[in-house]
Amino acid sequence: MKPISLADLGQFKKDKHKFATITAYDASFAQLFYEQGIQIMLVGDSLGMTIQGESSTLPVTVEQIAYHTRCVRKGAPDAFIISDMPFMSYATPEQACHNAAILMQAGANMVKIEGGSWLCETVKMLGERSVPVCGHLGLTPQAVNVLGGYKVQGRDEVTANQLVKDAIALENAGMQLLVLECVPSSLAAHVSEELLLPVIGIGAGAQTDGQILVMQDALGITARPPKFAKNFLAPAGNIHDAIHMYIREVEEGIYPDESHSFS
């Protein structure tokens, strides 16, 4: 496979070609995922919970994300790697630029930040300095203490309208990719139609342009998986076939179905 670019992702959206992405934290799994056909991986701050055993993503540091980014890059040299900006690492545009540089130099192709239109100045400044930005709206895990837990977002008209406004504002500021987490399928479909950029869903129904799963959820390792997760390892029997099944079901619109979505 040739290295994938943001232009390729934009073409996927134009062609209505759904694509699968997954979290990765080390060289071995990054290599396996890439060899099975996953070209886009997220070095997520979910590693705080999945790797470190923390109760949230908040303790994760920039240095830890950079370390895992380097590991993933070694395992999948040609992958498109998105690296999470951890909690409070982008509180100001200047701080965001400093920390984004660390992650880009570690091997990231793009950084991901959580939040709405208050981040427009940050997105613009990063873009002007050659740092592509992926946004993250809906359930934003770094805001768990404000949200009062890991709850579905955008179920009422006010919050749904605000999410749409935030998405449009961020795209206008230069955001080039968006993750929507734990929102009603109808809202995710509307956002995906409104934006020119590709939208990746997790617990956001099947109408987004792509899907992402935490690797431990996709492989049935998580003790209490979220509703939107599917264990692909159980029916497949081995990890290689599980990843193939995940990719195929995303591309064919089989996953996620209604049982893995929110109304």
Per annotation, catalytic residue among 128, 157, 171, 181: 181
Question: SS in 3 state form for the chain?
Answer: CCCCCHHHHHHHHHHCCCEEEEECCCHHHHHHHHHHCCCEEEECCCHHHHCCCCCCCCCCCHHHHHHHHHHHHHHCCCCEEEEECCCCCCCCHHHHHHHHHHHHHHCCCEEEEECCHHHHHHHHHHHHCCCCEEEEEECCHHHHHHHCCCCCCCCCHHHHHHHHHHHHHHHHHCCCEEEEECCCHHHHHHHHHHCCCCEEEECCCCCCCEEEECHHHHCCCCCCCCCCCCCCHHHHCCHHHHHHHHHHHHHCCCCCCHHHCCC
Active site residue 249: no
Active site residue ranges: 181
